[in-house]
Structure 1
Amino acid sequence: MDLTLKQLREELKYDKTNKCVQCGYCIPVCPTYTTFKKETHSPRGRINLVKMVGEGRISELSVLEESFDLCLGCRACESACPTGVEYGSILESVRFALEKRKSPFVLKRLLQKVILRKVVPSRKIMNLTGHTFWLYEKTKLQKAVRFSGIKKVIPNKMGTFESVIPESVPPKERRNLSKGISTKKEAKYTVAFFVGCVMDAMFHRINQLSIKLLSEVGCNVIVVQNQTCCGALHAHAGDIYEARRLAKENISAFEQINADFIVNNAGGCGAMLYEYGHLLEDDHEWAERASNFSNKSRDISQIIFACGGLPKSAFRNNERITYQPSCHMINVQKVKNEPIELIKAIPGINFIEMEQADSCCGSAGIYNIVNYEASMQILDEKMKHTKATEATTIITTNPGCLLQMKIGIEREGFSQSMRALHLIEYLAEVYGISKI
């Protein structure tokens, strides 16, 4: 084997493909395969493409691009795989290899790099983004856009996302995010709260409610001030260097706090925090620190459930509820039962589990922006199962899933009879807990 091929094998994590026994258990759980019915758009097909490149049977790495670009990265294949293929690691390596071979001077790539490296990690700029959304709403520009017909002439996906922009908070309220809160009850845990970038900019109230709920169940909550973006969007885009830099920044920040757990309220962020140990496993200086960080990482539903849940709420009069899990919560963090148990504990609700609940909704980070048409096809399939439940409320645990399900409701014309809420919003609503 020549040196170039050996290096390519190492770069693509070729050895990890050898665990695949071609059984096909991954095929029926893969959203892109079930949507497009192409073997190359399945986990098995993608692994075989990597094998062919690593064995010199395919000489152009660009052959991998379409197949891996269309992958949602939902990792459902890992949950289905009987031999433990580390598909996420292979996916990450291929995207990194493809990314570093692309020209850095293409306008679209330059813009993406600026957004991911300069905008998203900056708390100051993300706060400014939140202020901009608030101005857009409060100056009535939003109403003008929605009722003027402008949305009919702008690109379809821009109009789609505009229709589901969440309600913003005033700049004063945004500045007043608590640095922490002590429980008034007997303290069960001290937790460090991860605010996130998109969560803090667009879903600031959910962060406020999260802190309040954690306090209500017996947690002392600390909000680490110099934390940054988790790096998930960067890893998905193949920018591993930046993902590692952000991971190190967060590890350094949270190491200053003596907390029992590091708590997040976003499935995608949580998966990334959970995988810092993997991300930095080859870095001798950071590997142990990263592993310690990941071992402390928890989704908020795990902590609320571990604390015994919330006190009994008012009766909900047979309200029909269904739950759309975050792929990264169930397939990476392996958190499945806690959110459902918290929902089922609410008196009077009628919980209806949707068919194929664990299948991806098509959001997948920024997948629904860069692969809009494919994302909408996957969403339409998800909405068939959602409609069948006849639920009036869809609960989810990730900001991307939340927006995607709101889009689904709009596309189906159900905005008057169905709503989508984050689990934290719903728990705060039924237990009568206001924001801080």
Structure 2
Amino acid sequence: MSTAVDQPAIPLIPFSNQDRPSSEIINTCVHCGLCLSACPTYRETGLETASPRGRIYLMKAVDEGRIGLESAVFQEQMSLCLNCRACEAACPSGVQYGLILEASRAQIEQARHAPPPALPARPLWQRALRGAVFGALFNDMRLFRGFATSMALYQQSGIQWLARRSGALHLLGLAETERLLPTLSGQATVPMGQIYPADGPRRYSVALLTGCIMSSAFSHVHAATIRVLQKNGCEVILPPDQGCCGALHTHGGDLDGGRALARRNIAAFSGLGVDAIIVNAAGCGSTMKEYAHLLHDDPEWYVRAEAFVAMVKDVHEFLAGIELNTRDLRPLNLRVTYQEPCHLAHAQRISGQPRNLLQAIPGLELIEMAESALCCGSAGVYNITQPEMAAALGVRKVRNALSTGARVIATANPGCALQIVGELQRRGEHVQVHYIVELLDAAYIQE
């Protein structure tokens, strides 16, 4: 007879000692249910198992040996979760859900490589893809920039037009994934130790994370960020040897890969003597602020990670915490609505600061959308691995944004921007999507 969870296989595959989810965090949950209304997957499905409370129940069942990692329901729900962290913001008990979710995903991946009893290995094509993406592209920014250049050539040479018109993408099952590809110019922000002086007297010295996707697909956002910081008396440094923040690795169950990238960035930003390390992508900032937890078992790096984390500031957090230069802001007569990235609003608890910056721009009318902090469905590579749920959440987000009548949707994360632009294009809507720093940059008088 089946259990209340699902039919277990014999023998059960337990959590291993390495990177196991904390029993203490799991048992902090009192199953009150206040997280349910905040959870996007529960809102869409109405299923208890697709809620934070339900997923913690599954983790607890594995932790106590009642089911194992081979449970199909356990694997399905660890994958279906967006890791948006909205449940953490709603939780009265302070359950650190993101930490136990990432650890649970790591347990599943580690069990695929463990001696018997172990989970079946991923299909060869999946192993090859994960190796190419996690092991190569995101570990070497030269490779990543080379790949981005090839994608720019694909777009600009006419091959993309041909691939779309011919139906080849549909035959390969890649049409929806390819639609999310941003427009690439082939230009990239390459950190080589550049120092951009403050506009006027220097008030602060800051270092900027250039990252991977941001440096290649959103280099124009980096340029805007640098100019806005300069306008606010900041000297901006781009340290060499930095790279990907490791967010996709840690969210995808590759904690060792995330640790390697964390060590690289900690080393790259050490000894600069800056006042802050600035991040303009919500997902990157959230991960970087958790480097100390990621390296808590590494005595050599843990202390360095704590010092690093203390310096990390989201760009909106930083600008809202100083005396903002409003003297040089000229009016922008725009109707704007703000889509809150999950890892800014929930993981970093930064919600008021972006709105304050938007409202500081003369002439700009900020119109609040319904469910502004509900996940848009991007969540790293979620819109590739869980396309149906991602699409439903993307539709919901864009419908709420369009209902405001705003002609600009402001955001602060690359995945959110790509997800929203993709849904707008599918609908044939000509609403613009911009980062908040882009709007600030447009408002500042350029000499």
Q: TM-score, normalised by structure 2?
A: 0.89
State whether structure 2 residue 159 is matched by structure 1 residue 159. Answer: no
- Give, as a single letter, the amino acid of the residue that structure 2 aligns with 1:261: A
Measured in 1, the distance between the counterparts of 2:190 and 2:257 equals: 27
Q: Secondary structure at the match of 2:235?
A: strand
Q: Pick the aligned partner of 2:343 from 325, 328, 343.
A: 328
Q: Tell me, yes or no, if structure 1 residue 122 matches structure 2 residue 140.
A: yes
Which is worse superposed, 339-348 or 26-35? 339-348
Question: Which of the residues 47, 50, 55 maps onto 1:41?
Answer: 50
Cα offset for 1:219?
A: 0.5
> Once the 2 structures are TM-superposed, how far is the Cα of residue 43 of structure 1 from its aligned partner?
0.4
Residue 434 of structure 2 aligns to a residue whose secondary structure is strand
Query: Do 2:278 and 2:314's aligned partners in 1 also have CA atoms closer than 8 Å?
Result: yes
Q: Secondary structure at the match of 1:322?
A: strand
Q: Secondary structure at the match of 1:298?
A: strand
**Alignment map for 1:374-393 (pairs within 5 Å):** 374-393=389-408
1:340-381: per-residue Cα shift (whole Å, max 9, x none)? 111111111221111111111110011011111110011112
Cα shift at 1:142: 3.9
Q: C-alpha root-mean-square deviation of aligned residues, in Å?
A: 2.3
Shift of 1:113: 2.3
User: Does residue 279 of the first structure (1) align with residue 302 of the second (2)?
Assistant: no
Residue 315 of structure 1 pairs with residue 324 of structure 2: no
Q: Give the CA deviation at 1:99.
A: 0.6
Q: Percent identity?
A: 35
| Residue of structure 1 equivalent to 2:61 | 52
In 1, are the aligned partners of 2:19 and 2:106 still within 8 Å (CA)?
A: no
> Is contact 1:213–1:433 with CA below 8 Å preserved after alignment?
no
CA contact (8 A) 2:191 2:240 kept: no
Matches of 2:401 and 2:175, distance apart in 1? 23
Q: 1:174 to 1:349 in 2, by over 3 A?
A: closer
What is the CA-CA distance between 1:328 and the residue it aligns to? 0.6
Q: Aligned residue for 2:105?
A: 95
d(CA) in 1 for partners of 2:163, 2:123: 34
Contact 2:69 2:75 in 1 (8 A): no
Q: Distance in 2 between matches of 1:10 and 1:121?
A: 22
Alignment pair present for 1:78 and 2:93: no
Aligned with 1:422 (options 435, 439, 443)? 435
2:275 to 260, 263, 279: 260
Tell me which amino acid in the other structure corresponds to 1:365. G
Contact kept? 1:383, 1:408, Cα under 8 Å: yes
Deviation at 1:410, TM superposition (A): 1.9
- Tell me the residue number matched to 1:201: 216
Amino acid at match of 2:353: E
* Separation in structure 1 between the aligned mates of residue 320 and residue 15 of structure 2, nearest angstrom: 48
Gap regions ≥5 residues in structure 1:
none
Paired letter, 1:169: S
TM-superposed CA distance for 1:225, in Å, is 0.6
Q: Aligned letter for 2:198? A: T
1:178 positional shift: 7.3
Please point out which of 304, 310, 315 is paired with 1:289.
304
Corresponding letter in the other structure for 2:331: F
Shift of 1:44: 0.2
Q: Deviations over 1:322-353 (max 9, x none)?
A: 00111111112221111111111111122111
Q: Deviations over 1:28-66 (max 9, x none)?
A: 000011111111110000000111122222245434100
- Structure 1 CA distance, aligned partners of 2:445 and 2:15? 60
Counterpart check, 1:190 vs 2:231: no
Structure 2 equivalent of residue 362 of structure 1: 377
Partner of 2:3: none
Q: Which amino acid aligns with 2:148?
A: G
CA distance in structure 2 between the partners assigned to 1:143 and 1:430 by the alignment: 35
**Aligned-partner Cα distance in 2 for 1:368–1:309:** 36
Residues 1:401 and 2:420 aligned together: no
Runs of 4 or more consecutive aligned structure 1 residues displaced over 6 Å after TM superposition:
none
Residues 9, 169 of structure 1: alpha-carbon distance in 2 compared, 3 angstrom cutoff: closer
Bigger mean CA offset, 173-182 vs 306-315? 173-182
Cα distance in structure 2, aligned partners of 1:91 and 1:320: 38
Does the 8 A contact of 1:304 with 1:310 survive in 2?
A: no
Residue segments in structure 2 that go unaligned for 5+ positions in a row: 1-12, 113-120
Aligned partner of 1:180 among 188, 195, 200? 195
Using the TM superposition, give the Cα deviation of residue 424 of structure 1 relative to its aligned residue in structure 2, in angstroms: 2.1
In the aligned structure 2, how far is the partner of 1:321 from the partner of 1:37?
32
Q: Distance in 1 between matches of 2:153 and 2:62?
A: 51
Q: Alignment partner of 2:309: what SS?
A: helix
**Partner Cα separation in structure 1 for residue 183 and residue 98 of structure 2:** 34
- Residue type of the partner of 1:153? H
CA distance in structure 1 between the aligned counterparts of 2:411 and 2:380, rounded to whole angstroms = 15
Instruction: Tell me the equivalent position of 2:7.
Output: none
Are 2:84 and 1:69 equivalent residues in the alignment?
no
- Total equivalences in the alignment: 425
More off after superposition, 389-398 vs 48-57: 48-57
